[in-house]
Structure 1
């Protein structure tokens, strides 16, 4: 692994472990999430969950950088280990990442018999790869991640999570997820897991029906697709819209599951799975 000042040529990278913690705003996304580090605390707030913010004590800023696509920060927290932040939004912590990664992986893969070929769109941290690798029936794991700097940062600061890349069954495709799916032959994958965005951000092209239609074509008969569907407590109407799009494209059964992730402001992650899997009646 290259030194962090060479981690991505041309990227705006800055590492400073001894500085005054200041306030930094987001890049103006639809959610308008912001990070505030004044006084040694990181906070995330968003109009989706008005009137609240989740704060974590910042012990030390380990890395700050900007790739072609997004801003990244890694800091050492006092209670959750190392924390990764993307465009002002907390992505994972060492302490509770397993709750998200395991839910997104094992629910869909255990709902169909002997999955063989699996596609992961996004998931550049490597945690879902790590969990897919636990399934012995799988002999091909494709991951489509557009930001190589993000991958390198995870490998440097979160090796126990990025260990998923070490599996010889894994093939990395550095490409936009929508474009990749459009090039995939019909009926290629037994399972597709999407961990590339917050699906409630409706301006993202992966939210659109054409993306789901490409995914449906890429799935084998009886295959399963799983996507992060946000919290029922805050986005019930948006989830209804997402379910409607799933039902229109896939038909079959659609399952909404829920798990607790303490460091998410909505304290939950909710995989949505389709078309023929039954999450509450696992195969294995």
Structure 2
């Protein structure tokens, strides 16, 4: 909802299919590529999490098993994607590189003008200084970078954060630039709505002071 007309989507990680399930609900999406490093994730998700994995079976979707870092760097066409979603594991080991400036530069180059990225961004309850550091790295590449959070009961802290950045220096990603009617929101979403979109960027005082200063 932070992009006016997202047609080509790339998901890095997210092999369980959950992100794809939500992406293909939008009629404007024409093609969605997913690159996950572990073939077992989509295979087992189809077996044990069919409601989530249904996104993997959509006709708009192409699944690639491989290193997402290398996919973005070498295989993603320049100015090809409207939106890149990084649904990664925590920033430890090899996944750490998905939170560094070089990765954001590769994403920037793979995006069309006005393109948007969103990437997993930890919880402010657990790693506030890390969030600030990643935001600074992302701001060296993208003109607009914001951090939002949502309720996620399956995480130990009960919340998870995510960065949203755009190549458009005039766009306020904290406000939806597209919207569904209230009836459509009830039909398609259990959590998201226009008000939640904006409220996700409202931070507790301590987190706001650290993150907004980054």
The structure that has the greater radius of gyration is 1
Aligned length: 173
C-alpha contact 2:100 2:134 (8 A) present in aligned 1: no
Q: Note the aligned Cα RMSD (angstroms).
A: 1.4
The structure whose residues are more often helix, as a share, is: 2
C-alpha contact 2:42 2:56 (8 A) present in aligned 1: no
C-alpha contact 2:124 2:131 (8 A) present in aligned 1: yes
> Paired residue for 2:173?
279
By how many angstroms is 1:125 displaced? 0.5
Could you tell me the TM-score, scaled by structure 1's length? 0.59
Question: Per chain length, whose mean CA-contact separation is higher, i.e. which structure has more relative contact order (CA < 8 Å, sep 6+)?
Answer: 2
Asked whether 1:226 is paired with 2:118, we answer: yes
Query: Structure 1: 5+ residue runs without aligned partners?
Result: 1-109
Query: Structure 2: 5+ residue runs without aligned partners?
Result: 179-214
Q: Distance in 1 between matches of 2:145 and 2:102?
A: 18
> Paired residue for 1:83?
none
> Paired residue for 1:211?
103
The SS at the match of 1:257 is strand
Of 45, 58, 65, the residue aligned with 1:174 is 65
In structure 2, the CA distance between the partners of 1:272 and 1:150, relative to structure 1 (3 Å rule), is same
C-alpha contact 2:123 2:159 (8 A) present in aligned 1: yes
The SS at the match of 2:56 is helix
The structure whose residues are more often strand, as a share, is: 1
By how many angstroms is 1:202 displaced? 6.8
What are the superposed Cα offsets for residues 207-240 of structure 1, whole Å, 9 maximum, x if unpaired? 3322111111001111000001011122110001
In structure 2, the CA distance between the partners of 1:232 and 1:202, relative to structure 1 (3 Å rule), is farther
By how many angstroms is 1:280 displaced? 2.6
Could you tell me the TM-score, scaled by structure 2's length? 0.77
Q: 4+ residue stretches of structure 1 with deviation over 3 A?
A: none
> Paired residue for 1:12?
none
C-alpha contact 2:13 2:35 (8 A) present in aligned 1: yes
The SS at the match of 1:138 is coil
